[in-house]
Chains A and B, each alone.
Chain A
Amino acid sequence: MKTTTSDMGRNRTGVATSPIDSADITQEAQKHQPSHLGDGSLLLQVRKIYARESEGLGSVPPPTSLKGVAKTAVEALKGSKPTVFIDKLGERLAFERSGTRLYEGALAKFDVYGSWEGGPTREGLEKIYNDELSHFLMLTEALKSLGADPTAMTPSADVTAVVSQGLPLLISDPRANLRQSLEALLVAELTDNACWEMLIELARDLGHDTLADRFQLALDSEGQHLLWVRGWLAAGVSVEARGAPAREERAGTQPRV
């Protein structure tokens, strides 16, 4: 069953679905006093207690080669903390790798749900898929060149995966159509753009100019991805709002960039 996103149906979550029952339970809730004094801020106090006892999420692994050890020592002598760069490179690598899987999922949605006027084309989605994959490869090489282990999950990689847990959850849910899946891709692309910008700044600050130049190429293509995804999504919402059905065949066109 392929519905557009916003069909009217039997949604039962709101109180207006059952006016008599909801008036009754609201009245009953107002009659009863909470059994304990205070407010929601007590939760935050407990969080603070635990935060003070915390030792963080984990660490960056040591360099994998003698060359890496030497580089780390040099960086440290220069007064910088090389693990920060490794950590952020590990984060981008993880995000690009997951991003590739997101576009794989989106391609499957494309085949089932079809596209719409101004929506994604198969070629457009494949182009982004290939870009994400090549960014993953580039970051793997960058980490190796610094003597770091590209297979390790760094703390920032973990953070960004926790933050974006919902993205693969939605893309892999067969009930979420292509338009809904694009909402997840937009979040991914917005994050990706902002994070590449920061990574380039960090690389320049640390004197890794060659890497920064390569990263700039990645950022250029990420900027293009963001424009496309935002355009596809906006067109999709607009097509739905006009009541036009999604097309089953590959009818989408790429917005001009």
Chain B
Amino acid sequence: MALDILQEKGVPLDKQVFTWKDLVRRPYSKLDDDAFTRVCVIYMNGIMADALRTKHAFARMNRELREPLALIRRLEQYEQTLINWLNPPDQTPLETTLGFEQVAIEVTASVALREPDPYLAQTYRFGLLEDFDHLYRYSALYDRIEGKDPNNITQSYTDIIPGRPTSVEHRHPLDDLRRPYDKRTAHPLTKLHAMSITAAENQTHDYYMTVGPFFSDPVARQLYAEIASIEEQHTSMYESLLDPGESMLEKWLMHEACEVYNFYSCVAFEKNPRIKEIWQRFLDYELGQLHYVKEIFQNVERRDAAEVLPSTLPEPIGFKEHRDFVRKTLNQEEDMASNGQDYVRMADLPRDHRSYIWRDQLNSDGSPSETVAAGYKWIPGTELASRTPRMGSTFEGKKVH
């Protein structure tokens, strides 16, 4: 049933309370929970990280809104803590990374499928193929340095095959910028999508920048450096879709709506009842925050919030596999490149294009993403499982090599 966000008032701010025990819950199980539970935990941490990031930026530029921003920021900081701490301690940074890429693939695919604006939809498909390749590169790293099967994390939902090769994803910064939606004419879903994917990519960038130095293997360190650079490109790309002409309060109001929309989507798909209860609680909290900001918006801007907000929320984001869509996109658009704000076929970029120069310089000492995945084909049980058949059966008493 569609949620009427103007009618549903949620929990008022003064009733949104936490304790340390409440913030630090029992984590989900890496072994037993569905991969989409991890996907939602990682994704919603990104949504909340962006809520804080954006509101800090607002506070640095606006004297009048500092107090209400501080109030809401603190609540959202607690929400983010509770969510992020659901990641279990036996999940290594590289395993969490595989989770991040599954988020980038499945959430972006869902968004690309529903995006009403064809230019933005193309942008999501463009970014999707690049993140899709990252999953393959990190899978090779995981298999080859830890000897573990990446599919233990992705649980057969997502293909582990090359996308647009990471080594060709490096572009000149000016080829990352896109045309923003128009705040007056854009569908509300377009705004929610652009904000959500920007948030997800920004946290991915920050996460890789944080965990990269934890690795001892120089190729792993290089790979994180390389993919963090692409995530910075993606953050710039998606962020540039947001209309810079929206007022600060309009952006804030839409941010709250975006948070409501994303928790609403998690509630719709979550299979673990213990985690679902958290999504429902924060959906109610975010509705309370939305109405608080709506009042400020109406008082300061003297406009009806209904001009900006959708009355009912669109269909929830599909936290499920999108293999057919991703395969079709890969088949048709793997060789896309960007020239300024426009998409072109890679072959149509002149060889002296600034992005070629940029990329060739970066790759001139070798390419980590090529090194790590050279000759890599995923099979169940890791690539070592494809080597053992040559040994014959050791079980039946044949020679052990």
> CA A42 – CA B372 in complex, angstroms?
7
Report the count of interface residues on A (CB-CB < 8 A).
35
* A18 contact set on B, CB distance < 8 A: 155-157
1/0 contact string of A2-16 vs chain B (CB within 8 Å):
000000011111110
For residue B279, CB closer than 8 A to chain A, the reply is no
> CA A18 – CA B161 in complex, angstroms?
19
Q: Are A29 and B33 also in contact (CB < 8 A) when A35-B165, A35-B373, A46-B222 are? A: no
Q: Are A43 and B156 also in contact (CB < 8 A) when A25-B151, A25-B323, A28-B327 are? A: no
Contact between A34 and B373, CB atoms less than 8 A apart: yes
1/0 contact string of B350-388 vs chain A (CB within 8 Å):
000000000000000010101111111111100100000
For residue A47, CB closer than 8 A to chain B, the reply is yes
Contact between B374 and A38, CB atoms less than 8 A apart: yes
Q: Which of B90, B156, B159, B374 touches A15 (beta carbons < 8 Å)?
A: B156
For residue B392, CB closer than 8 A to chain A, the reply is no
* A32 contact set on B, CB distance < 8 A: 161-162, 377
Contact between A28 and B144, CB atoms less than 8 A apart: no
For residue A26, CB closer than 8 A to chain B, the reply is yes
* A35 contact set on B, CB distance < 8 A: 162, 165, 370, 373
Contact between A11 and B31, CB atoms less than 8 A apart: yes
Q: Are A38 and B218 also in contact (CB < 8 A) when A25-B160, A26-B380 are? A: no
Q: Which residue of B lies closest to A49 (CB)?
A: B218
For residue B35, CB closer than 8 A to chain A, the reply is yes
For residue A37, CB closer than 8 A to chain B, the reply is yes
Contact between B31 and A42, CB atoms less than 8 A apart: no
* B374 contact set on A, CB distance < 8 A: 34, 36-40, 42
Contact between A43 and B371, CB atoms less than 8 A apart: yes
Contact between A29 and B371, CB atoms less than 8 A apart: no
Within A104-135, which residues are at the interface with B (CB < 8 Å)?
none
Contact between A34 and B151, CB atoms less than 8 A apart: no
* A46 contact set on B, CB distance < 8 A: 218-219, 222, 366, 368, 371
- 7 examples of A-B residue contacts, CB within 8 angstroms: A11-B32, A24-B323, A25-B156, A36-B167, A37-B374, A38-B371, A175-B88
Contact between B156 and A34, CB atoms less than 8 A apart: no
Contact between B90 and A29, CB atoms less than 8 A apart: no
* B366 contact set on A, CB distance < 8 A: 46
> CA A56 – CA B327 in complex, angstroms?
46
Q: Which residue of A lies closest to B90 (CB)?
A: A173
* B161 contact set on A, CB distance < 8 A: 28-29, 32
> CA A242 – CA B74 in complex, angstroms?
52
Beyond contacts A21-B321, A36-B375, A46-B219: 4 other A-B pairs, Cβ-Cβ < 8 A, are A12-B33, A28-B327, A32-B162, A34-B373
Tell me how far the C-beta of A25 lies from the nearest C-beta in chain B, rounded to whole angstroms.
5
Tell me how far the C-beta of A115 lies from the nearest C-beta in chain B, rounded to whole angstroms.
24
1/0 contact string of A134-153 vs chain B (CB within 8 Å):
00000000000000000000
Binding site for A on B (CB under 8 A): 26, 30-35, 88-90, 144-145, 151-153, 155-162, 165, 167, 217-219, 222, 321, 323, 327, 366, 368, 370-380, 383
Contact between B157 and A21, CB atoms less than 8 A apart: yes
Instruction: Give 4 nearest A-B pairs by CB, closest first.
Output: A38-B374, A13-B152, A21-B156, A22-B156
Contact between B370 and A36, CB atoms less than 8 A apart: yes
1/0 contact string of A37-81 vs chain B (CB within 8 Å):
111101100110110000000000000000000000000000000
* A33 contact set on B, CB distance < 8 A: 377
For residue A169, CB closer than 8 A to chain B, the reply is yes
Contact between A50 and B218, CB atoms less than 8 A apart: yes
Q: Which residue of A lies closest to B222 (CB)?
A: A46
* B26 contact set on A, CB distance < 8 A: 175
* Residue from the set A17, A37, A42, A175 with the largest chain B CB neighbour count within 10 Å: A42
Q: Which residue of B lies closest to A174 (CB)?
A: B26
Contact between B219 and A26, CB atoms less than 8 A apart: no
Tell me how far the C-beta of A53 lies from the nearest C-beta in chain B, rounded to whole angstroms.
10
For residue A210, CB closer than 8 A to chain B, the reply is no
Q: Are A30 and B375 also in contact (CB < 8 A) when A12-B34, A43-B219 are? A: no
Q: Which residue of B lies closest to A32 (CB)?
A: B161
> CA A105 – CA B34 in complex, angstroms?
30
Q: Which of A17, A37, A42 touches B156 (beta carbons < 8 Å)?
A: A17
* A11 contact set on B, CB distance < 8 A: 31-32
> CA A15 – CA B153 in complex, angstroms?
11
Contact between B375 and A38, CB atoms less than 8 A apart: yes
Q: Which of B31, B151, B159, B375 touches A28 (beta carbons < 8 Å)?
A: B159
Contact between A169 and B89, CB atoms less than 8 A apart: yes
Q: Which residue of B lies closest to A176 (CB)?
A: B90
Tell me how far the C-beta of A10 lies from the nearest C-beta in chain B, rounded to whole angstroms.
5
Contact between A26 and B32, CB atoms less than 8 A apart: no
* B217 contact set on A, CB distance < 8 A: 43, 47
Contact between B145 and A43, CB atoms less than 8 A apart: yes
* A40 contact set on B, CB distance < 8 A: 144, 374-376, 383
Contact between B31 and A12, CB atoms less than 8 A apart: yes
Tell me how far the C-beta of A36 lies from the nearest C-beta in chain B, rounded to whole angstroms.
4
Q: Which of A10, A29, A30 touches B32 (beta carbons < 8 Å)?
A: A10
* A47 contact set on B, CB distance < 8 A: 217-219
Q: Which residue of B lies closest to A40 (CB)?
A: B144
Tell me how far the C-beta of B160 lies from the nearest C-beta in chain A, rounded to whole angstroms.
6
* B323 contact set on A, CB distance < 8 A: 24-25, 28
Q: Which residue of B lies closest to A20 (CB)?
A: B156
* A30 contact set on B, CB distance < 8 A: 377, 379
* B159 contact set on A, CB distance < 8 A: 25, 28-29
Contact between A9 and B32, CB atoms less than 8 A apart: yes
Q: Which residue of A lies closest to B88 (CB)?
A: A175
Q: Are A39 and B375 also in contact (CB < 8 A) when A13-B152, A15-B156 are? A: yes
